[in-house]
Amino acid sequence: MAAGYAEILRTRHAARLLTGTLVGRLPNATAVIALVVFVRSGGGTYTLAGGLAAVYGVANAVGQPVLGRLVDLYGQPRVQLSAAMLSALAMTAFALLGTGSLLLAYGTVAAAGLFTPPLEGGLRALWPGVLRRADQLHTAYAMDAVAQEVMFTVGPLLVTLCVTLWSARAALLVLNAIGVLGALSVALSPPSRAWRSAPREAHWLGALRSPGLLALLAAFLCVGMAMGSITVASLSYADGHGGDAVYGWMMAGLGLGALVGGTVYGARPWAGAPERRLRVLVALLAVCYLPPALMPGPVAMVLLSVLSGVFLAPCLACVFVLVDRYAPRGTVTEAFSWLVTTFTVGASVGTGIAGPVVQAGGTLWGFVLPGAAGALSLLVLLATGRALAAPGARAIPAATSENDPNRAAQPRFSSGDRA
């Protein structure tokens, strides 16, 4: 099982790009918990902490596709490094100034979110040019999805460690400094410096002019809603079955399930069209969201949480392949950034809906929501079958460098070979 992953990591530059991207994304992965801890440590209210976290999330959702388009236009190093520095400086200013001035607090947090570098989209744009063979791409995307689960598990632990050793202010400063180092490692790597976006047709919609991409974004808005709603439902369940400890185990179970599912999915080749495979994976994801509605005891509930997470990473890995396929030429980084934004917005919407539903109908209905959101995602994929009909093959990687000495050796395989 591990042979495919090991082969990719042995590929020149692959380990550096993956590690650097994960390290560079730590400030974003830990921002919400770090902000809440910092505000509360200074005596601020939960309302203020939640407001700042919301502003950061909205700004991040707005900034990702904008910065992704700039990467496609001007290359990775210039945009990624500038954005990483601006985001870190803004969060440093917030950490040093505190919440004495609400205008400055909200402004600096908004700037930190807005300028978060689009490292996710950047890495996925680099994979086709780094890998040797077409059949490695879906494994790389699966490894990418699995690595995200590790990061979102380790990130909060790092915040706790920094707070324990130093302070909540130090956690913000240290994690953002580490994030800049990660972005620096990626942006200065040969693949990032050599990468050039394919020539693009001038169009104000950019990546969003692709009907297939719009269909994928609509479907994963619903998957994001499922993720957001299940966190609220799990919190409601934990309140009556052991409190924070049970909630922590349930969230860890979701991450573990995604970790296992993504690892197994990426360890083998898959035949057939990825469009069809994505519909099957989303259907399985929706079905596996339903068993927690049985609300058994805490131990069984944690196991059901693991089941709920199993098909998330495979869905993400599959949609990464399709986003790269349906992105118009010259917009691949922007397209992946739109996926990040859509998923984030969906999670926020799911959280916002689940709160009133749980309040009015109880925990049971909170657990019905993720399954319903998953089913809605499947319906979107089925309804947009024409837009997701296999497109004509286009050569990838979508971007290369005219000055890259290894250009002739880079893989040139058609999108139809990727599955």
Q: Which residues form the domain of 158?
A: 1-6+14-197
Residue 24 placed within a domain = yes
Residue 282 placed within a domain = yes
pLDDT given at position 340: 87
Same domain, 101 and 242: no
Same domain, 169 and 260: no
Distance from C-alpha of 302 to C-alpha of 153, rounded to nearest angstrom: 16
3-state secondary structure of 196: coil
Residues ≥6 apart with Cβ < 8 Å to 79:
67, 70, 71, 117, 118
Residues ≥6 apart with Cβ < 8 Å to 107:
none
63 beta partners: none
Q: Alpha-carbon Rg of the chain, whole angstroms?
A: 21
Same domain, 290 and 354: yes
- The owner of tokens 């130090």 is 170
Same domain, 127 and 213: no
Same domain, 38 and 122: yes
Question: How far lies 148's CA from each of 29, 256, 259, 318, in Å?
Answer: 9, 12, 9, 15
**DSSP sequence for 266-332:** HTS---S-HHHHHHHHHHHHHHHTSGGGG---HHHHHHHHHHHHTTHHHHHHHHHHHHHHHSPTT-H
Return the ∠ at Cα 139 (arms to 133 and 142), rounded to 5°: 150
| pTM (two decimals) | 0.78
Residue 400 placed within a domain = no
**Structural domain total, the chain:** 2
Same domain, 153 and 218: no
pLDDT given at position 12: 92
Same domain, 190 and 228: no
3-state secondary structure of 399: strand
β-pairing, 413-414 vs 395-396, is: antiparallel
Residue 295 placed within a domain = yes
Return the ∠ at Cα 360 (arms to 354 and 364), rounded to 5°: 65
Q: Is the dihedral of CA 49, 157, 285, 233 positive or negative?
A: negative
Residue 403 placed within a domain = no
pLDDT given at position 388: 86
CATH assignment of the domain containing 76? 1.20.1250.20
Q: What type of residue sits at position 220?
A: F
Return the ∠ at Cα 283 (arms to 278 and 284), rounded to 5°: 100
Residue 215 placed within a domain = yes
Q: What mean pLDDT is reported for the chain?
A: 86
Question: How far lies 159's CA from each of 1, 174, 209, in Å?
Answer: 32, 9, 40
Same domain, 155 and 33: yes
Question: Among the three residues 161, 177, 197, which one is the final residue of a domain in this structure?
Answer: 197
Same domain, 122 and 231: no
Distance from C-alpha of 347 to C-alpha of 345, rounded to nearest angstrom: 5
Distance from C-alpha of 104 to C-alpha of 298, rounded to nearest angstrom: 43
Same domain, 360 and 267: yes
- The owner of tokens 């706790």 is 160
Distance from C-alpha of 349 to C-alpha of 369, rounded to nearest angstrom: 12
pLDDT given at position 409: 34
Same domain, 228 and 182: no
Residue 323 placed within a domain = yes
3-state secondary structure of 414: strand
Could you tell me if 117 and 183 are in contact, meaning their C-beta atoms sit under 8 angstroms apart? yes
Burial call 139-155: b when 16+ CB within 10 Å, e when fewer: bbbbbbbbbbbebbbeb
Neighbouring CB atoms inside 10 A of 392's CB total 7
Same domain, 244 and 163: no
CA atoms within 13 A on the CB side of 6: 3
- The owner of tokens 């058609």 is 414
CA atoms within 13 A on the CB side of 276: 6
Question: Among the three residues 165, 197, 229, which one is the final residue of a domain in this structure?
Answer: 197
Neighbouring CB atoms inside 10 A of 244's CB total 10
pLDDT values of the chain reduced to their tens digit, one per residue, 419 residues: 566 788 888 999 999 999 999 999 999 888 888 888 898 888 888 788 878 888 898 899 899 999 999 999 999 999 999 999 999 999 999 999 999 999 999 999 999 999 999 998 899 889 988 987 777 887 888 888 888 778 877 887 788 889 889 999 999 999 999 999 999 999 999 999 999 887 777 677 888 999 999 999 999 999 999 988 898 888 889 888 877 778 878 888 888 898 899 888 888 878 888 999 999 999 999 999 999 999 999 999 999 999 999 999 999 989 998 998 899 988 988 999 999 889 888 888 888 888 888 888 889 999 999 999 999 999 999 999 888 875 543 433 344 443 343 333 333 333 333 33
Residue 396 placed within a domain = no
